[in-house]
């Protein structure tokens, strides 16, 4: 367990004037279609990638990163456009070629002053990502905003702000690796496939499954009152032994035939959060998480699919049932949520949005975002692989992040925020 609330006021970052990085060659213009999986997650995701080489300083880091971005935007040109609203009232990209926003910055401190890079302080990381001044909503924020910050010790950080409607985690990882390959003058291992119409809704739309992931849940436990307290953010590290122990606990009553790390950890954290928030036994609670649909669609999505290939799935339970039953009960719910994600289920979810325009409700809900399966650690701009990579902060209070941790990447860091009194209980429940 680690604190993520330390003061960062004495560490300053001086940002230069923002410029625009245009594609190196002329690119197609016009409107670029975003499908219904893109529409549902139009939130800004801020990430940082920290590089330090023993043999190379950071003097030309910004120039290398900038030039490579300009070249890559020729193939990934929607990122050089601007979001707007289509005639159908949905998000769409106007491919204007205006370019990505780019800012150079200098830190008054060394990378070591950030502290433990496996548990970075969100307040410090927030200074490494440029925010568009005065932006009131996502249409006023370009799809891609980049800040390169040089540190006194020779390290540099690429701080990135991107709208999730443009890319999901896997596509973002491929984009970052392609950016690094371009910087090193290498051909792209994975070429982007820009056509998103392969996931357009059917005509006429056909809802074949119930979709309670969109339903509002009544907060009978009055947890909103708790959220008036100070919010605390904490990391909890689960090493291989602890993860193995969790799986054994989940399977000890012999109800389950198998159990993955994700299923055991998700179920464990879901139960603990319900208990920490003091949910009433009859409180309906929901777990939401994304399943990668790339291999589950029929036919599968092409390699390099440039967009969102993830579909939200759900588990529902009364808090009392979660907490009075063994861990295997919650794990079983998670397993069912994974197994129901078929081609027809995903097409039904796409069509459900087409008809209802509903957004998933987050009342009495926990949302898990999984990063530990993504290869962000392989990105290389010529300074070697990053010594740290990860998100800057949690986008919503209901979101929990699973991050890889350690040189072997066998540990999982769980990052979440809770009201102070609930966090105290949650910390105790993490001791197994």
Sign of the CA dihedral with 117 first, then 132, 368, and 172 last: negative
DSSP at 320 = H
- Distance (Å) of CA 327 to CA 94, 271, 335, 426: 48, 8, 12, 16
Cβ(73)–Cβ(79) below 8 Å: yes
Residues annotated as catalytic are 164, 380
**Angle, CA 29 vertex, CA 28 and CA 34 arms, to 5°:** 95
The H or E element spanning position 125 is: helix 122-125
Nearest to residue 214, comparing CAs of 399, 356, 370, 35?
356
- What is the gyration radius of the CA atoms in the chain, in angstroms? 22
Helix axes 240-251, 327-339, angle to 10 degrees: 100
Q: Report the candidate in 100, 93, 101 with the shortest Cα–Cα distance to residue 28.
A: 93
Rounded CA gap, 394 and 366, in Å? Answer: 12
The CA-based dihedral angle spanning residues 117, 121, 124, 127, taken in that order and rounded to the nearest 10 degrees: 100
| Ramachandran class of 304: left when φ > 0, alpha when ψ lies in -120 to 50, beta otherwise | left
Please say whether the beta carbons of 149 and 157 come within 8 A: yes
Torsion of CA 39, 126, 425, 429, to 10 degrees: 70
Element containing residue 106 per DSSP (H, E)? strand 100-107
- Residue with token string 């926990």: 366
Close Cβ partners of 19 (under 8 Å, ≥ 6 residues apart): 101, 102, 103
Rounded-to-integer distance, Cα 324 and Cα 318, Å:
10
Q: Measured between alpha carbons, how far apart are the two ends of the chain, in Å?
A: 13
């Amino acid at each position: 367990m680690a604190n993520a609330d330390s003061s960062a006021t004495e560490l300053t970052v001086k940002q230069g004037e923002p410029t625009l990085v245009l594609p190196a060659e002329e690119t197609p213009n016009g409107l670029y279609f975003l499908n219904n999986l893109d529409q549902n997650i139009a939130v800004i995701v801020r990430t940082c990638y920290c590089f330090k080489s023993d043999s190379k300083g950071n003097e030309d880091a910004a120039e290398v990163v900038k030039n490579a971005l300009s070249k890559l935007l020729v193939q990934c040109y929607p990122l050089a456009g601007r979001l707007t609203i289509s005639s159908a009232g949905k998000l769409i990209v106007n491919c204007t070629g205006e370019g990505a926003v780019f800012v150079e910055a200098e830190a008054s401190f060394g990378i070591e002053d950030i502290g433990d890079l496996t548990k970075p302080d969100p307040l410090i990381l927030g200074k490494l990502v440029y925010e568009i001044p005065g932006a009131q909503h996502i249409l006023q924020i370009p799809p891609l905003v980049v800040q390169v910050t040089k540190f006194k010790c020779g390290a540099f950080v690429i701080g990135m702000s991107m709208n999730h409607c443009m890319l999901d985690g896997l596509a973002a990882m491929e984009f970052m690796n392609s950016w690094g390959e371009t910087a090193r003058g290498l051909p792209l291992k994975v070429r982007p496939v820009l056509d998103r119409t392969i996931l357009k809704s059917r005509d006429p739309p056909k809802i074949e499954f119930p979709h309670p992931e969109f339903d509002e849940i009544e907060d009978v436990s009055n947890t909103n009152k708790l959220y008036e307290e100070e919010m605390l953010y904490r990391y909890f590290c689960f090493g291989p032994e602890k993860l193995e122990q969790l799986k054994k606990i989940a399977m000890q009553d012999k109800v389950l035939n198998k159990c993955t790390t994700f299923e055991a950890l998700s179920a464990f954290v879901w139960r603990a959060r319900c208990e920490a928030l003091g949910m009433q036994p009859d409180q309906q609670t929901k777990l939401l998480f994304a399943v990668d649909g790339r291999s589950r669609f029929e036919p599968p999505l092409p390699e390099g699919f440039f967009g969102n290939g993830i579909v939200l799935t759900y588990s529902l339970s009364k808090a009392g049932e979660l907490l009075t039953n063994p861990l295997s009960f919650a794990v079983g719910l998670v397993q069912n949520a994974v197994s129901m994600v078929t081609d027809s289920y995903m097409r039904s979810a796409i069509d459900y949005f087409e008809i209802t325009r509903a957004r998933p409700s987050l009342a009495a809900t926990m949302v898990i975002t999984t990063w530990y399966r993504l290869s962000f650690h392989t990105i290389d701009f010529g300074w070697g692989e990053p010594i740290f990579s990860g998100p800057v902060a949690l986008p919503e209070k209901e979101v929990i992040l699973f991050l890889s941790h350690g040189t072997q990447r066998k540990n999982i860091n769980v990052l979440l925020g809770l009201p102070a009194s609930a966090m105290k209980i949650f910390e105790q429940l993490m001791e197994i």
